[in-house]
Amino acid sequence: MSQDQPDPNSTKSYKQQRSRRQSGKQHPLGPMMYRSAKSDHRSTRLTSLLVIAASATLLVVSAWLTPDPSGMDTHTQLGLPKCGWPTSYGIPCPTCGMTTSFALLVRGSFIDAFATQPLGAMLALMTIAALIWGIAALITGRRWRVNFYRCTPGRIIFGGVLTVLAAWGYKILSMG
């Protein structure tokens, strides 16, 4: 078969392959994320159930909590102590406001959630996405995987640390 024509026996549909080749928008290293082939249904479905249970638990607890108007200390409703950073150091800790942000986002207050703690709002959205992807994997028996050729673990860690520091800086500036 020539290189101009897609393989009709591959896992992708013939139309998908043809449209990608014609559009010329395919990255040389492949997509950022891809769905795995159907293989071990039992482990995929067990993993999916765990992801669904963890995500749903976080979202249900967040919906149960009442967001604190100060933007912090919502976690005290869970029996946890108040954060000591603001009294000890005069600045919030890197995670101050995350529980409040989760509680606001599950109520649909997206702007308030991002204004309270941007990283908390992003993590809440990621939790919702994990729940949806977990349900999809449970139904289809296929997992989503990250293409580490395009997105190396070092870049993921660097991006994560940079995001945490930026959100912490925002929280420090917004308290002052």
Q: pLDDT, tens digit, for every residue of 16-54? A: 555 555 555 676 766 766 666 666 677 788 888 999 999
Separation of alpha carbons 22 and 51, rounded Å: 37
Token representation of residue 125? 């959205």
Token representation of residue 60? 């249900």
Structure confidence by residue, pLDDT tens digits, 109-146: 999 999 999 999 999 999 999 999 899 888 888 777 77
Per-residue pLDDT at 1: 45
Burial of 23 (0-12, 13-18, 19+ CB in 10 A): exposed
With DSSP H G I counted as helix, E B as strand and the rest as coil, what are the percentages for the chain, rounded to 5? 60, 5, 35
pLDDT band at 6 (very low <50, low <70, confident <90, very high): very low
Token representation of residue 106? 């599950």
Other Cβ atoms within 10 Å of 106 Cβ, number: 21
Per-residue pLDDT at 112: 93
Domain boundaries, the chain: 39-145+152-175
Give the DSSP H or E segment for 135: helix 118-140
Separation of alpha carbons 10 and 38, rounded Å: 13
Coil, strand, or helix at residue 108?
Answer: coil
Residue with tokens 């917004």: 174
Coil, strand, or helix at residue 146?
Answer: strand
